[in-house]
Amino acid sequence: MTMANEDTTVGRALRGLASDNASTRLRAALAVGTAPDPRSVDELVGRCAIEPDFQVREMLTWALTRHPAALTLPPLLGELRSERTQARSQALHTLSKIGDGRAWPAITPELMTDPDDEVARSAWRAAVVLVPGGAEAGLAAALAAQLGRGGRETRLSLSRALIALGEAMTPAVRAATSDPRPAVRAHAIATEKLSLDPDAGFDFAIEEAKRIVALGPKE
């Protein structure tokens, strides 16, 4: 393939990312990922911030993972400072898929406590993937501080993130089972139960935890 043809192919794919048709955007992202080109990285990252279709966003993330981390990390880390919540969330999601530990310092407490639940959830997942050895207990404490936050999906995401840390989660979650706030206690108890019996399901674990909290401490 000549350089002119390569330019035409890359340009066509990048133009497809701006199509009004989601299927066209999906095919364009697939094409870019199938034939990675450094010139497409900024366009892919920028599109992640505004793409309305979930499947297309997933394909954009996949396309970014097909490029060298040295090229993708700088623009993705820049997106973490964006005022646009989707830009922060999708950048965090993509960083978790790339899995390059150099991104760890950028997973700040501010991101893990972001007022937008989707951003916070993405930060929790990224943190668990990127946390360096020896820092798991500190991360568990930071995550456990948010037990009781949000609705079902947010609480389930937090429980999964804590459970993914293994034994490092135990002290922080165990301490939260005595928290004066019922919602925090219930979430902590449910997380412990789910870690011991993953097949029980989160809904069962949370309902059982609520029952335990309602009964109060045993005499």
Question: Is residue 115 included in any domain, yes or no?
Answer: no
Q: pTM surpassing 0.75?
A: yes
Question: Is residue 177 included in any domain, yes or no?
Answer: yes
For residue 217, give its domain range.
131-219
Give the rounded distance of the alpha carbon of 188 from its chain centre: 21
Question: Is residue 138 included in any domain, yes or no?
Answer: yes
Question: Is residue 15 included in any domain, yes or no?
Answer: no
Question: Is residue 137 included in any domain, yes or no?
Answer: yes
Looking at the 3D structure of the chain, how many domains does it have? 1
pLDDT tens per residue, range 48-98: 999 999 999 999 999 999 999 999 999 999 999 999 999 999 999 999 999
Question: Is residue 204 included in any domain, yes or no?
Answer: yes
Res 212: pLDDT? 67
